[in-house]
């Protein structure tokens, strides 16, 4: 792939990831958190399910249960925590905390998959978690929004482990479509049972839903999976550190969010940690490919 095209697609995917936090926070003026997240992913899942209907679908009930479990963690858990966190913390803080998930994957991968990581990757984990401490203001005053931000990262890491274990059983597009659909439906159920649903329909709210559904979900996933398929997944994943940068930038531009200096410092440490984790994954993958 042409390096210019590759760069444009990386910026497109990560900017959509990051900006979704800010657009989601704006959307809370029109929707209750769980309802907004549920509508976003139910609609995105339905549209993608129509697109992949001719592809190979899971056959067994157990495989459908696996898809459901991934959806509960990847969509319901991650997005439910994110949208709830946006009620009390900034879009910048929520995006930074959410994107520590590669660091948690290292720990969970060691425990549950028996994966072995090198010194630089563990150093990345230490630097990344130091960044979390700094981002939270050194004193670790874990308010509800901060805990939810960390919860979204943990849920994403669990989903990543599940996908690594079960990925070969599914067409990736079918898995993406139905995990979004199942997760979105579960979020709608949670909205009905755990919150007083709020929905204000006007031009602004419709545009927000369309942006989150089409651009920040379908286009973002399609672009990111295309990038992963075209190059080294480990090296490409290293660019995920750009997503919270765009989360901070969009929050500043669209919401006039005031970000404390220690959030920037903590974010830098987190980015360095994630870069070490993913960059070394890329080098290890390259070595394995060279030997095969």
pLDDT single digits (tens) 65-112: 999 999 999 999 999 999 999 988 888 788 888 888 877 877 887 777
| CB crowding 255-288: b at 16 or more within 10 Å, else e | bebebeeebeebbbbbbbbbbbbbbbbbeeeeee
Tokens of 125: 């984990």
pLDDT grade for 291, boundaries at 50, 70 and 90: very low
pLDDT at 206: 96
When pLDDT is averaged across residues 29-42 and rounded to a whole number, the result is: 96
Lowest mean pLDDT among 3-17, 86-100, 139-153, 270-284: 270-284
pLDDT at 168 over 90: no
> In the chain, how long is the greatest CA-to-CA distance?
58
Beta bridge partners of 31: 199
Where do the domains of the chain lie? 3-291
Please state whether the predicted TM-score (pTM) of the whole model is above 0.85.
Answer: no
Closest CA to 79 of 179, 165, 161: 179
* Residues 6+ positions from 144 with CB-CB distance below 8 Å: 85, 88
pLDDT at 286: 44
pLDDT at 285: 45
């Amino acid at each position: 792939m042409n390096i210019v095209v590759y760069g444009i697609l990386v910026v497109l995917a990560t900017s959509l990831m990051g900006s979704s936090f800010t657009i989601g926070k704006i959307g809370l003026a029109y929707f209750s958190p769980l309802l907004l997240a549920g509508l976003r992913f139910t609609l995105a899942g339905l549209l993608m399910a129509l697109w992949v209907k001719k592809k190979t679908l899971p056959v067994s009930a157990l495989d459908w249960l696996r898809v459901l479990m991934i959806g509960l963690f990847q969509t319901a858990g991650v997005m439910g925590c994110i949208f709830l966190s946006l009620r009390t913390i900034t879009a910048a803080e929520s995006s930074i905390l959410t994107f520590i998930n590669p660091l948690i994957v290292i720990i969970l991968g060691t425990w549950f998959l028996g994966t072995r990581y090198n010194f630089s990757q563990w150093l990345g984990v230490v630097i990344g978690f130091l960044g979390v401490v700094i981002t939270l203001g050194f004193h670790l005053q874990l308010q509800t929004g901060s805990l939810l931000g960390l919860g979204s990262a943990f849920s994403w890491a669990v989903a990543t482990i599940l996908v690594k274990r079960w990925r070969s059983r599914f067409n990736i597009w079918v898995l993406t479509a139905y995990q979004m659909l199942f997760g979105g439906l579960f979020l709608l159920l949670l909205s009905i049972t755990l919150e007083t649903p709020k929905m204000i329909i006007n031009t602004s709210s419709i545009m927000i839903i369309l942006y989150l559904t089409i651009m920040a979900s379908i286009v973002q996933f399609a672009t990111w999976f295309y990038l992963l398929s075209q190059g080294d997944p480990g090296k490409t994943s290293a660019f995920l550190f750009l997503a919270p940068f765009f989360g901070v930038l969009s929050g500043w531009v669209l919401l006039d969010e005031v970000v404390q200096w220690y959030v920037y410092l903590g974010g830098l440490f987190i980015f360095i940690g994630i870069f070490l984790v993913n960059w070394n994954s890329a080098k290890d993958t390259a070595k394995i490919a060279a030997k095969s």
